Amino acid sequence: MPTSDGETYGFKYVNGHPKNTAEGLQTVTAFGVLASVDTGYPLLLSEMTVLTALRTAATSALAARYLAPTGARVMAMIGNGAQCEFQALAFQQICGIDTLRLYDIDARATDKAARNLARSGLTVIPCASAQEAVTGAQIITTCTADKQYATILTDNMVGSGQHINAIGGDCPGKTELHRDILLRSDIFVEFPPQTRIEGEIQQLGPDHPVTELWQVMTGRAPGRTNADQITLFDSVGFATEDFSALRYVRDRLEDTGYYVNLDLLADPDDPRDLFGMVARAGGA
Ligand code: NAD
């Protein structure tokens, strides 16, 4: 996922392998690089598995600030894997959620999330089904991993006024919501050309109306306009989120003394004498 602002270039390498969990491996792993456009020199090489969870949670909660119903306190979280606690804490901090209703097809994932959130201040309620989890929730986050057109939410599970934060459907052939939910929702996306290929809206025609989140944030388009509206943030993860996260890490590191650029590059005294540097290091 590459991007640039003309001064800095960045990319994230990321996978998406739901089958990994069965083999004791993670579904999502990532690392990223920032580089100077002017010189092409790399500035930062960072792990991005944790950073992806942080930036995804931050983006989801930011979207919900504009789209969730006023006074929302209860969130259903369907899929309690690696992203779950990050999402929960972001919604607590940024949106004021105080109750979390958890559901996962694997009860061990729910137990893990409940344990990790035990001291968060959230009231955490493990549920026996997705239907039970969404009961009484004003916000529904779907964050499951399966490479297929799955139906985590059916049409009858979503009521008027709810906000859906759909995270898990993020590549071609992978969705979580029944198409009928999309037809009843006002849909908000990061970047339409990407989301139409990767998001829930791959189930809809190419002209189905969507609103870009930045337009809502800058006041150019309305977000939630009434209490009955169903809003859907169809999240797929956009390169500028990773770029911002990498630049944030760089900025935070700059003052710590840990931000050292030396070990990443060969550093010959004479820039044209690379061979001589290698030869001297080898004692030749
Ligand atoms: P994970 O494998 O750690 O967790 C996924 C969880 O979903 C597992 O606990 C699994 O048991 C559960 N699950 C699978 N099918 C289910 C079902 N039908 N009902 C309930 N639970 C079910 O994965 P993760 O790192 O938490 O990521 C989840 C998904 O989010 C992945 O598909 C990933 O690609 C996606 N993701 C999207 C973004 C984004 O920016 N939109 C960012 C990160 C991850």
Distance from the alpha carbon of residue 15 to the mean position of ligand 1, in angstroms: 13
Residues 154-178, mean pLDDT to the nearest whole number: 96
Instruction: Indicate whether 127 and 245 sit together in one domain.
Output: no
Instruction: Indicate whether 77 and 207 sit together in one domain.
Output: yes
Instruction: Indicate whether 272 and 157 sit together in one domain.
Output: no
Task: Catalytic residue, from 104, 170, 234, 242: name it.
Answer: 170
Atom of ligand 1 nearest to the CA of 144: 7
Distance from the alpha carbon of residue 144 to the mean position of ligand 1, in angstroms: 3
Instruction: Evaluate if residue 263 carries a pLDDT over 70.
Output: no
Instruction: Evaluate if residue 256 carries a pLDDT over 70.
Output: yes
Sole residue written with tokens 């898990």: 168
Instruction: Indicate whether 165 and 246 sit together in one domain.
Output: no
Give CA–CA dist 96/90, Å, rounded: 9
Instruction: Indicate whether 104 and 174 sit together in one domain.
Output: yes
Give CA–CA dist 126/74, Å, rounded: 13
Atom of ligand 1 nearest to the CA of 80: 9
Instruction: Evaluate if residue 148 carries a pLDDT over 90.
Output: no
How many CA atoms, within 13 angstroms, populate the side-chain half-sphere of residue 262? Answer: 4
Report the SS3 class of residue 103: strand
**For the chain, what percent of residues have pLDDT higher than 90?**
89
Residues 90-94, mean pLDDT to the nearest whole number: 98
Distance from the alpha carbon of residue 229 to the mean position of ligand 1, in angstroms: 26
Instruction: Evaluate if residue 220 carries a pLDDT over 80.
Output: yes
CATH number for the domain harbouring residue 250: 3.30.1780.10
Residue 184: predicted pLDDT: 97
Q: What residues does ligand 1 touch, defined as CB less than 6 Å away?
A: 16, 18, 21, 27-28, 52, 56, 78-83, 103-106, 109, 143-146, 150, 152, 167-168, 170, 235-237
Instruction: Indicate whether 264 and 177 sit together in one domain.
Output: no
> Max Cα separation, the chain?
77
pLDDT confidence tier of residue 265, bands split at 50, 70 and 90: confident
Residue 254: predicted pLDDT: 83
Mutate which of 12, 13, 143, 151 for ligand 1? The one with the most ligand atoms within 8 Å of its CB, which is 143
One-letter amino acid for residue 13 of the chain: Y
Distance from the alpha carbon of residue 16 to the mean position of ligand 1, in angstroms: 10
- Record the tokens describing residue 227, joined without a space: 């209490």
Instruction: Indicate whether 127 and 226 sit together in one domain.
Output: yes
Instruction: Indicate whether 137 and 35 sit together in one domain.
Output: no
Residues 218-237, mean pLDDT to the nearest whole number: 97
Sole residue written with tokens 């935070």: 252
Residue 246: predicted pLDDT: 96
Nearest CA to ligand 1 atom 20: 104
Cβ neighbors of 205 (< 8 A, separation 6 or more) are none
Instruction: Evaluate if residue 260 carries a pLDDT over 70.
Output: no
Instruction: Evaluate if residue 268 carries a pLDDT over 70.
Output: yes
Per-residue model confidence as pLDDT tens digits over 187-209: 999 999 999 999 999 999 999 99
Write out the residue range of the structural domain in which residue 33 sits: 3-49+240-281
Residues 45-66, mean pLDDT to the nearest whole number: 97
Residues 274-278, mean pLDDT to the nearest whole number: 93
Nearest CA to ligand 1 atom 41: 236
Between the alpha carbon of residue 31 and those of residues 59, 154, 160, the distances in Å are 19, 35, 40
One-letter amino acid for residue 185 of the chain: S
Sole residue written with tokens 């944790």: 50
Residues 14-19, mean pLDDT to the nearest whole number: 91
What phi and psi, each to the nearest 5 degrees, are found at residue 256?
-90, -15
Sole residue written with tokens 């002209």: 207
The count of domains in the chain is 2
Instruction: Indicate whether 55 and 183 sit together in one domain.
Output: yes
Residue 167: predicted pLDDT: 97
Distance from the alpha carbon of residue 78 to the mean position of ligand 1, in angstroms: 9
**For the chain, what percent of residues have pLDDT higher than 70?**
97
Instruction: List % helix, strand, coil for the chain (3-state, nearest 5).
Output: 35, 25, 40
Residue 259: predicted pLDDT: 65
Nearest CA to ligand 1 atom 36: 168
Instruction: Evaluate if residue 267 carries a pLDDT over 60.
Output: yes
CA-nearest of 200, 136, 193 to 168 is 200
Instruction: Evaluate if residue 258 carries a pLDDT over 80.
Output: no
CATH number for the domain harbouring residue 204: 3.40.50.720
Instruction: Evaluate if residue 67 carries a pLDDT over 90.
Output: yes
Instruction: Indicate whether 142 and 89 sit together in one domain.
Output: yes
- Identify whether 242 is a catalytic site residue: no
Give CA–CA dist 102/143, Å, rounded: 11
Q: Note whether 102 and 87 are within 8 A (CB).
A: no
Between the alpha carbon of residue 263 and those of residues 250, 276, 283, the distances in Å are 16, 18, 20
Q: What is the mean pLDDT of the chain?
A: 95
Instruction: Indicate whether 25 and 134 sit together in one domain.
Output: no
Atom of ligand 1 nearest to the CA of 152: 18
What phi and psi, each to the nearest 5 degrees, are found at residue 36?
-80, 130
CA dihedral defined by 13, 18, 19, 24, rounded to 10 degrees? 80
Instruction: Evaluate if residue 262 carries a pLDDT over 70.
Output: no
Residues 240-248, mean pLDDT to the nearest whole number: 97
CB atoms within 10 A of CB 109: 18
Instruction: Indicate whether 111 and 164 sit together in one domain.
Output: yes
